[in-house]
Structure formats: structure tokens, C-alpha cells
Structure 1
């Protein structure tokens, strides 16, 4: 089969016809702890005000300031100053990425603490099974619960969104996957290209006969090793092409992605899950190195054909920021693999959930009740924030979510003394992948649902969420109400691993223990509080 090398000749000038077959979407079921349900509905307004702010007067949406909800307007040098009325809304795009946690585990296993800039708490939290009830149909269930944080009048409130279970191997639509593999010199390190080859070998064994794959490699330029090829009758050929990959020169991520999208468009399969999968350490050093510019050059493939980008990171040195930005702007997701066990989880368990979409441009908005809530803070999601007034502007980019996914947002919430009743309403909005018709669901939560003890209670999965969030905040130099030290946190994770019989929680306990030993072996510092990003409600 002919191999083709990319220079930078665009093939998008040719007329292209057809679009990807319709993806599934539809109704859903709502669940909410101590909550109320609304029926699923299509929402006709493309633009509009934020979701209703229960118990709070005024419009709210225009009260967003500087991307931080309700941050008090005090001048750094001039003391307190006048500011807009405090904000009671929190709006963000959904995110199912997990790469930050995987890379942190790899770094800790190597004896070092991760760079705080690579720690994204939402990706730690979303790395663990949550146990939410899933909807019967296609869409989201909305689940809200919480517990006292053990620090005065603060609670942790968990907003959980879940889609229906992913189809089985035989039930899912066919896959049409274009693998874009980094074969630059840096990929020679053990745990990079060798792991990628093992991963693709695992996937070749797991894919169905009616699935198709293509293979593009890149170093200083890009080369097509295999055009889109059906698995039936070609598994041996695919394995041979995978085995032939060897590390060579520099890292031109732009050339690889451009070539990959050209192959994906040329070989797209109607009605299949058409995806580009980038496998790289993302250490771009040749060609265009900015994510925005890279993706602009293949924008028509994303917009016209809906081909999304799934990123798989590898390597002890890893371009985390570039990979995350590429996949966020490429309407996809990113994860990280450090060993064969993780590779099997990603390529056998996770990748099939990315082959179809339940929701496009999905976002959530939480409206806090100022009668019961004094302060709140969303943990993480800093680079996924959406302006409150854009919640129902469906031209604004959101997150893409497939079947079998859960998305968790954890809030630190400070209740007013003696508060009782409604705390917040969580609303999720998304577009049908085929029709782009908007839908919404919501659930409410009351003080009773966030007033029980966190530790020792029945909510083991909520406790795992709290441990993951506390761990991430500590690693990035921040703090949360009720945060234990790393030693105590490791003990709690260990007990939860036993109680849940969950190996992923056991690995979390191991990672926390490693971080504790590394810190004690250097400066013994448990870390001080970071900047408070609380929402003060007047």
C-alpha cells in the first residue's frame, strides 16, 4: 500500500459531499438528591438570560466579573472598593478529561511532585466512578448531594451529570479511527512510542470486523502509513504497519494533525464514529506550535464533518497545556497513559464511549440561593468557565459528551447561620448532536442534603470525590474547607479503597502516600492556603 508524505499541500480545495450520519440523542430521566424534577424539553431560545436564580432578585447574568464568581471587589493596594452586586451564578462547559490526574500519578511515581500548573482538580475528580443513576433515555440525569466539610459552616456540594450507559461492543456504531502517532526523537524514551505500539496492538485485537482505521505518523513531517482500512481481513497488515514505527526527528504536531484530518475526511464512514486520535508527548518544536493556529487550519473538517479530536498523552515530560488546548478546541477529550494497564483501560473501556455523542456544546449553570448561601467556590474548571449571560447562547462553545460518561463539579458552600431550605438549582443545557436542538434538565438541593457528616457516612463515592479534590488542591498549593493533611488523606483513601473494593481508589491512596513522602523528604511542608476564590453573597 502506498505511503504518502505531507509537505503542506491542502487537499481541502476539492469538492467534498456528505456529512457524518446522524448521532443518537433524545429524552432523559432526572434524578436529584432532595431535589425536584422537571420533564425533558426542547428549548427554542438560542440566546437568553441565565437559568432561574431561585431566591435571588435581579438578572444576575451581567454580574459576572473577571471569570471568578462573586469575588469580592477589594483593591490590592487601595483597600476595599465599590463593586457590582455579588454574583450567585456559576457557569461552565462540561469536561470529561482525565489527563491531569494520570500525568500527576506518573510524575509522583518518578519521585517528583507535579508542576502545579498541570493540576486540574476537575480531572482528578472525574477520574473516578461516581455511582450516579443514569437516565433511561438519551441525555443527562442531574444529581446533587453533599455533606458538611467539618470546617465551621462549610459544606461540600457535588453536582453530578450522567449519560446513559455506553453500548456494548456489539451494539455501538462502527468506528472509523484515524491514529496520528508522534514518532519524534523524544518518543524513543521507554513508556512513549513502545507504549503507543502496545496500545494500538491491544486495540487492533479489540476492534470489530466492520470498524476501520488509518495510521498517520509525524516527526518533522507527516506520513500516511495506512489509509482508512476495514479491519476485516486486514488485521495482520495493520499490526505490521504499527510495528514498523520507529522514532526519528523533531516534533511537528501541526503536520501530523493536518494530515490526520485529511485522512479522516477522505476515509470517513457514514454512520460511523469518525474520530482523530492523537498519541503524543505533545512537545511540539517544529512548525506551528500554538493550538489555535494548528486547529484553524483544519477547522472545516471539524465544522463540516463533525470529526472530533481525542488526545492520548504519554511520557515523563509531557506537553500537557498544548494537548489539553488542542482537544478542548477540537471538540474532544484527553487522557494520559503511563503503562499497559492504563492503555488497556483507555483503548478498550474509554475509547468506545467517544465513538458517538450524546450531547454537543453541553454546559452547566448552578444558581445559588442567597437566602441560605453566604459563599461558594467551584473547585477547578478555571479554563472551562462560561459567562453567565452566555449559558443559553448556543453559539458559544461547550463540551462534547458521549454515552457512559459522568461529569462532576464539586463546590465548597458556606451556609448562612441557621439556614434552612433551598440551597441551589443545577441546570444542564446541551444540543442534540444531529439536529442541534437545545435541551435542558435541572435539579434542586436543600440544606438537609448537604448537612450530614462527610466522613463515616454512607456516601462512599462522595468521600472519594472529596479525597480526589483535596489531593488536587494540595498539589497545586490551594486549600479547601476541611482539608486533611496528606498523611490523613492517604489513610482515608486507603480505607475507602477497602470499603469500595475499587482498585482505582487504591491507586489514589498510593499516589497520595507518594506525595506525602516526597514532601516530607524535601521541606516537610504540608502547603499553605492558596488564593481564596470564594463567592461572597450579600
Structure 2
């Protein structure tokens, strides 16, 4: 992969403070809806007139803030994201009796934690589904529009290519507890039992320094040796993540197998305190290994105190993704049920661009994806970094959309662009939605999965102190989730309902950062 810079724009804090409607990028990033002539000839959704400058946000609830902002253009462009760590960590924090810090809440990762039921393509690439519904309550002049992208079904364990996995395990003092290093041992033990004979594992540990505990070793005939190496891990001193990742990539390159899925898997609480603690500097030192061999970084977070932002930045720059595990059940889900999705790639540098029709849409807001934004003009620039996506993944982007009075016709056209992971040939797929498909009522509608998506997004926005049109309070949201858990018979939705109920009870309690939540803050 060529050396490239991820051109995400915009400050999360500005978005949260002003409630500005995110419709692509503007100003210094060259977005602003200015598609090049080459893009228009290539069929890029061309932006309309800006419709005026963005208005000033006013105090009030989320709906008020949205209504006071005018769309600067009608394009929204972002890199795809399959991370789910933010939701997993929020659940863990709530289980511990604390509200998660708003800065750790990323709505897209809440949404992407749930099964969506999109149609899947037969080959590599994506299917594109676009639907929506009218928001409830006083703000029912707003709709939610869901852009759903899905890759082909994940292969079975017998069908996937061999794996060559380098595990980089944090054994610093902060990991010395059953839910951290103990859980990592359990997780790797589960994986050792599940991997095939032709798969390989290497193991690197790090505290103040990095050490190779096990060079790349085939599972066949060596499972006992691998288990002994895993069991030998003991907590030591400080956390030098940089040294661990650098040694891990050295082992991954040395043990690289042609035709196998070669990955570096970081298991850590990501609380770096020794050596280089800058994600960009750490990944720059192993950049040639990433570019030449395409070895991506998969981050698995653990621990009640977890460096969420640091792990997110590492994996973003390492062309990978993150998840979070709090117990053995989640470890089995990640290392058994979802393993092919975490190991294989069906798309590199995947981006999405959604073009809203100014004849029907007055304004809109992309929910989440603040650190994934891409300049509109860079959508077809394949040197600009996107997201890496594997088989069995779905990616959902949810928009709050205000339709014009009496509008009828096309609402939005969504285009996803990606590179073939082997040939780097670009591909695109498009889907669209009209007003008739987004004006039905959300609650009690035909799509229970859209309702689950809405609950997850409303919950995330509530936790980070922002609001959305039609968003119920936490109590009602928990009831909605309970009803959906019954109708879908989905255990993950039951857990969502439990998490919302916990947040509702903790409304006046203590946040993850130790500060008190102000009365009424969560509503």
C-alpha cells in the first residue's frame, strides 16, 4: 500500500457543541461539494448549490440545533468503519456502575455492533441498501435514512485460507488482573483449540521492553507448545506499546506465509506510558511492512480502564479495526464466531459518498463518523486512505434528514467505492431511496432491524450528551429495546436494553472520568 494520509476532517468537539449538519467537508479540505470535472464525467454525484452558509446553533435540544443549521452542500463522504470497541467498552463501563465518558462514545460503532439483515453479494465487494422511516414524537417532520453496506457471507472455518497470526500481548502491570491478562490467556487458549492444523501463531509480549515468546509456529503437532507459551505470560512493569508493535511486525514479516492471512493482533488495555506513545510515530516505524506485505493491525481491547482513543488511532493508521472483550463469551464470539471477518479482506480503502437531492432534502446530519470524514473531492482519489472490510461485515450509516414540505422523489443516492485487496482495481456500487420509502413511521414499522439501529444511535447520542430529532428518553428507549429483543429473539438486543436501563438508573451518578453527571444531562 502506498504511503498515504487519512484525510479525515472536522473536530468532534465542534460538531457536538454546535450541532452543525455534517454534509461532507468544506473549507480547507477542498470538499465543499466541489466535484472535479473528472469526477462528474465518471458519474460522481454532483453537488448542488450550497443553499446558504451554515446558521448559528442555538441552545436547546438536539432537534433545535439541527433545525438552526443549513446544509453547506449536499454530499457526505466518509471512510468505512467496522469497529465495535466503543459499544463494547460502554457496556463494560455501565456494568461497572459508571457512565462512559462522552469522548469514548462513537455512534457508528454502536450501530455496527448489531445484525442488520442486509442482502449480501455473492462475490467480493458490497451490496447497497438504502431505507428509512419517519422519526417519532414532536419531531416527526424529520426522518432517519439508513445506508447499509454488506460484504459476502463469511466463510466457514474449513473454507477460509490459512492464517499466520502474530499476537502482541500487553503484560504490563496494568494488565495484572483476571479481566485483562487472565482474559487474554483464556482468549488465546480458545483460539488455540479452534485454529486448524495448517494455521500458524507467533507470540510477542511487551512491558517496558518487547520479547518474542514464540516464533511463528504451525498448530499441527505444536498445540501443547503454544498453550505452554500462552500460560507462561506474567504481568511485569510499564507499557511500551511501540516496542511491542515493532517487534510484532518483525515477527510477522519473518514468519509471513504466502497465500495465508497474515495479521498482527494487539491485545492490550492501551494505556501506554513508556517509550513512544504517539500512534503515528509507532506505525511509521513499521510502515514498509504494512505497505509491502499488506499486514494489517487488529486491536482487541480489554480492561475497565482502557485507552480507547489510542487503540482506535493505532488501528486506523494500521489499516485495521478494533473490538473490545469483557468476558469469555465475548472472547469466543471474536476468536471463534467472527474470526474469518477479522482475518480476511474483501475490500481495501473503502469509502462511501451519499448525495442528497436538494429538491427533496432541506438539511441532514450524518450520525457519528466524525473521525472518518473524507473530503468530497477525494472520494475517487484512491491514494486517500479508506477503511478495510472483511467478509461477513456490515457497515451502516444513519442520517437525520429533514425533507422539504410536500417533497416527492429521490432523497439520496449512496455510492461505495473500494479497491480489490489483491489487484487494487477500483470498483463501485450504488443504491438510492425515494421519499415514499422514508416517510413511514419508525416505531411499529415493518423493519425491526431499522428500529434496532435507531435505538442504538439514539442511545449513543444520549450518552455523549447530544440529541437527535425524535429521540425518546432513556426509559422509553429501554422499553423499545426490550420489545425489539422479544420480536427479534436476538440476545444482543436484550443486552442493549439492559445497557440502556443501566444508563437510565445512573443518570445522576458518576461518569467514567470520575465527574458527576449534571441533573437532566442524560435526557
Question: TM-score band (shorter)?
Answer: 0.7 to 0.9
Q: C-alpha displacement at 1:227, in angstroms?
A: 0.4
Q: Which residue of 2 aligns with 1:96?
A: 82
Paired residues, number: 469
Of 470, 480, 504, the residue aligned with 2:458 is: 470
Of the structure 1 ranges 347-356 and 230-239, higher mean CA displacement relative to structure 2 is found in 347-356
Q: Deviations over 1:216-262 (max 9, x none)?
A: 00000000000000000000000000000000000000000000000
Shift of 1:190: 2.8
What's the secondary structure of 1:424's corresponding residue?
strand
Q: Does 1:126 align with 2:127?
A: no
Deviation of 1:152 after TM superposition, in Å, equals: 3.3
Residue 395 of structure 1: aligned partner: 383
Deviation (angstroms), 1:125: 0.1
Deviation at 1:356, TM superposition (A): 1.7
C-alpha spacing 1:458/1:73, structure 2 compared with 1 (3 Å): closer
Distance of 1:46 and 1:93 partners within structure 2: 22
- Please give the alpha-carbon distance, in whole angstroms, between the structure 2 residues aligned to 1:355 and 1:289: 26
Cα separation, partners in 2 of 1:46 and 1:341, compared to 1, 3 Å:
farther
Report the counterpart of residue 315 of structure 2 in structure 1. 327
Choose which of 475, 479, 483 in structure 2 pairs with 1:487: 475
- 2:393 counterpart (405, 415, 418): 405
Question: SS of the counterpart of 1:144?
Answer: strand
Q: 1:480 to 1:73 in 2, by over 3 A?
A: closer
Give the match for residue 304 of structure 2.
316
Alignment partner, residue 527 of structure 1:
521
Deviation at 1:100, TM superposition (A): 0.2
Distance change in 2, residues 1:85/1:506 (3 Å): closer
Once residues 457 and 74 of structure 1 are traced to their aligned partners in structure 2, the CA distance between those partners, rounded to angstroms, is 35
**Counterpart check, 1:337 vs 2:319:** no
8 Å contact kept, 1:53–1:369: no
CA contact under 8 A between 1:486 and 1:513: conserved in structure 2?
A: yes
Q: State yes or no: 1:282 paired with 2:270.
A: yes
2:398 maps to 1:425: no
Question: CA-to-partner distance for each residue in 1:142-186, whole Å, 9 max, x for gaps?
Answer: 000000002131000000000000110000000000000000000
Q: Report SS of the residue matched to 2:266.
A: strand
Is the contact between residue 203 and residue 347 of structure 1 (CA under 8 Å) also seen in structure 2?
yes
- Which of the residues 45, 62, 85 maps onto 1:53? 45
Which of 69, 72, 80 aligns to 2:54? It is 72
What is the DSSP-based 3-state SS (H/G/I as helix, E as strand, rest coil) of the residue aligned with 1:192? helix
Residue 185, structure 1, aligned to residue 178, structure 2: no
Deviations 1:377-405 (A, max 9, x none): 00000000000000000000000011111
Query: CA 1:472 to 1:243, structure 2 compared with 1: closer, same or farther past 3 Å?
Result: same
Secondary structure (helix, strand or coil) at the match of 1:289 reads: coil
**Matching of residue 105 in structure 1 with residue 88 in structure 2:** no
Distance of 2:102 and 2:498 partners within structure 1: 19
- Distance in 2 between the 1:491 and 1:85 partners? 34
User: Structure 2 CA distance, aligned partners of 1:148 and 1:85?
Assistant: 20
Deviation at 1:47, TM superposition (A): 7.2
Asked if 1 retains the 8 angstrom alpha-carbon contact of 2:48 and 2:73, the reply is: no
Residue 354 of structure 1: how far off its partner (Å):
2.2
- SS for the counterpart of 1:430 is strand
After TM superposition, give the deviation of residue 457 of structure 1 in Å. Answer: 1.1
Q: Which residue of 1 aligns with 2:230?
A: 242
Q: State whether residues 47 and 393 of structure 1, in contact with CA within 8 Å, keep that contact through their aligned partners in structure 2.
A: no
Using a 3 Å threshold, how does the CA distance of structure 1 residues 126 and 259 change in structure 2: closer, same or farther? same
Deviation, 1:434, is 1.0
Gaps of 5+ in 1: 1-44, 64-68, 77-82, 530-538
SS at match of 1:453: coil
CA contact (8 A) 1:91 1:363 kept: yes
Q: Distance in 2 between matches of 1:46 and 1:311?
A: 40
Question: Within 2, Cα distance between the matches of 1:311 and 1:471?
Answer: 24
CA distance in 2, matches of 1:244, 1:493: 43
Tell me, which stretches of 5 or more residues in structure 2 are unaligned? Answer: 1-35, 59-68, 511-516
Deviations 1:299-323 (A, max 9, x none): 0000000000000000000000000
Partner-residue secondary structure (3-state), 1:477: coil
How far has the Cα of 1:435 moved from its partner?
1.1
Given the superposition, is the C-alpha separation of residues 388 and 104 from structure 1 closer, same or farther in structure 2, using an over 3 Å criterion? same
1:70-94: CA deviation from partner (whole Å, max 9, x where unpaired)? 9705499xxxxxx998210000000
4+ runs of 1 displaced by more than 6 Å? none
- TM-score, with normalisation over the residues of structure 2? 0.87
How many Å separate the matches in 2 of 1:242 and 1:70? 60
C-alpha separation in 2, matches of 1:329 and 1:230: 29
- Partner Cα separation in structure 1 for residue 311 and residue 115 of structure 2: 24
Paired position in structure 2 for 1:307: 295
Say if 2:349 is the partner of 1:367. no
User: 1:48 Cα shift?
Assistant: 3.5
Check conservation: 1:47, 1:394, Cα contact below 8 A.
no
Report the equivalent of 1:10. none
Looking at structure 1, the residues matched to 241 and 462 of structure 2 have their Cα atoms a distance apart, in angstroms, of 33
Kindly state the Cα deviation for residue 520 of structure 1 after the two structures are TM-superposed. Answer: 4.6
Q: Secondary structure at the match of 1:380?
A: coil
Distance of 2:215 and 2:443 partners within structure 1: 54
Q: 1:168-207: CA deviations, max 9, x gaps?
A: 0000000000000000000012300000000000000000
Q: Does structure 2 retain, via aligned residues, the 8 Å contact 1:196–1:279?
A: yes
Distance 1:75 1:378, change over 3 A: closer
Q: 2:133 aligns with which of 147, 163, 167?
A: 147
Tell me by how many angstroms 1:137 deviates. Answer: 1.7
CA distance in 2, matches of 1:318, 1:324: 11
